[in-house]
Amino acid sequence: MPELQRLDARHASALLRFERENRTYFARFVPDRGDDYFAEFAARHAALLAEQAAGECHFHVLVDDDGGVLGRFNLVDVADGSAELGYRVAEQATGRGLAQEGVRRVCDLAREEYGLRRLVASAALANPGSLAVLRRTGFVPVGEVLLDGQPGLRHIRDLVPTG
């Protein structure tokens, strides 16, 4: 089973390869990162690691046995016990339950390691796979949103039991 690892400097080249190889695939569901993302990748990667060190975000990669990146699972805008979840899985890794398993693992880390109580996630209506992953991992739709001008659903998952 692939391993979920906290992002660090050693992941840079594999992460860049993952983003390049899946750029067209990802653009079918989410806005393209643009050419500058790839041209300035080293600086962006260093900035992400600085944000993570400051506790503002928690970044994770799902890696295979050879160290290749199969997916990203990020918790951003950490504040007041809450964060926004974002994730993407390589096209060649879809249909194997990796997105669902990665989201479950990140939810566990959010609660157990980072002390978060609530996660928010959004997915475009045109991305039924992502919407299904959110439903299967305990996220509840709470309203409609626009994602880069496209209709989507905002979801919330409480990480601590109520009652």
Q: In whole numbers, what is the pLDDT of the chain averaged over residues?
A: 95
Q: Is residue 83 helix, strand or coil?
A: strand
| Amino acid identity for residue 11 in this structure | H
| pLDDT given at position 31 | 81
pTM for the complete prediction?
A: 0.93
Helix (H) or strand (E) holding 150: strand 150-158
Q: Give the C-alpha separation, 159 to 85, whole Å.
A: 13
Contact between 70 and 2 under an 8 Å Cβ cutoff? The reply is yes
DSSP string covering 23-52:
HHHHHTTS----HHHHHTHHHHHHHHHHHH
Of 16-20, 28-32, 77-81, give the lowest mean pLDDT range: 28-32
Better pLDDT: 162 or 14: 14
| Amino acid identity for residue 22 in this structure | N
Which residues neighbour 149 within 8 Å (Cβ) at sequence distance 6 or greater? none
| pLDDT given at position 162 | 65
pLDDT in tens, 36-57: 999 999 999 999 999 999 999 9
User: Does the pLDDT of residue 1 top 80, yes or no?
Assistant: no
Domains and CATH numbers, the chain: 3-158 (3.40.630.30)
pLDDT in tens, 106-161: 999 999 999 999 999 999 999 999 999 999 999 999 999 998 888 999 999 999 87
| pLDDT given at position 30 | 82
Q: Give the C-alpha separation, 37 to 12, whole Å.
A: 13
| Amino acid identity for residue 141 in this structure | P
User: Does the pLDDT of residue 163 top 80, yes or no?
Assistant: no
For tokens 């500058």, the residue is 36
